[in-house]
Amino acid sequence: MYQDKSGAPGNERVKLVVQTPEGELYRLRSVNGRPITPEQDKQEVQRIERLLSRPNEQRKRHAAEEKDDRQTQNLFRMIPNAVISSYGEHRGDLVEILFKPNPNFNPPTHEAAVFREMAGRIWINQKQGRLVEIEGHLIENVKFADGLLGHLDKGGEFHVKQSEIAPGNWEITLLHVNMHGRVLFLKTISVHEDKVRTDFQRVPDNLTLAQAAEQLQKQSTATSAAFLKHSTVK
């Protein structure tokens, strides 16, 4: 279970998320630094109840999450062949790897085409064999099918950090994406995502969605009580 803060300034949302074998379940906690209203809280309760009553919908969401994870893993596996790398700094167990495009790389998918125009750096924890941080930016426009299917603009960037939240348990704690471009039929795209994950807590490995909903309800009740007490003191 962890807290997820995401969104651009003016639309920042904080959610409490619980991971289960059946997928993730979340509950909104605040918007732009203010606790959600009683009406919003009621809507969250109803949304979660609907989700629990529609297991097929949750299975589809979970399958989509797993598909995204597989695609991400496949992209990371391409990195050794897609880039030319060199060593940078050393900081204790951490080693920096600088990378730039490999001109001989032939992207097997449209998604992999970004590596042909991307440079950046990676931090690796040598002792644990873990990727700790990766930053990349587009040094040229990325053209899909020679531009027929669209492109991403030069200057687009992404930044991802992983942290060991418990012994041997690593999770993404920061995600930043800022990409712009055009896709088929000249549709402008703008992808901007900022996500920070904090306050990790261990929950049972076999937690069900219904039990996750109970956890979220307890946390929401405790948070509301704390907020009311703080307001009364003021």
The predicted-structure confidence for 131-177, as pLDDT tens digits, reads as follows: 999 999 999 998 877 666 678 899 999 999 999 998 888 999 999 99
User: DSSP secondary-structure letter at 207?
Assistant: -
Q: Model confidence at 185, in pLDDT bands (50, 70, 90)?
A: low
What is the count of structural domains for the chain?
2
Same domain assignment for residues 120 and 169: yes
Residue 99 has pLDDT above 70, yes or no: yes
Overall size of the chain counted in residues: 234
Q: Are residues 144 and 182 in the same domain?
A: yes
34 secondary structure, DSSP code = E
* Mean pLDDT, range 63-86, rounded to an integer: 90
Are 93 and 140 found together in one domain? yes
Same domain for 190 and 209: no
State yes or no: pLDDT of 25 exceeds 60. yes
pLDDT of residue 96: 97
Does residue 139 fall inside a structural domain? Answer: yes
Q: How far apart are CA 163 and CA 94, in angstroms?
A: 13
Same domain, 87 and 197: yes
Burial class (CB in 10 A: 0-12, 13-18, 19+), 180: middle
Q: State whether 44 and 92 are in the same domain.
A: no
**Angle, helices 209-233/38-53, rounded to nearest 10 degrees:** 170
DSSP assignment letter at 140:
S
pTM: 0.82
Most confident of the following: 3-12, 39-48, 103-112: 39-48
Range of the domain at 159: 83-201
Residue 77 lies in a domain: no
Does residue 70 belong to any structural domain of this protein? no
The predicted pLDDT at position 226 comes to: 55
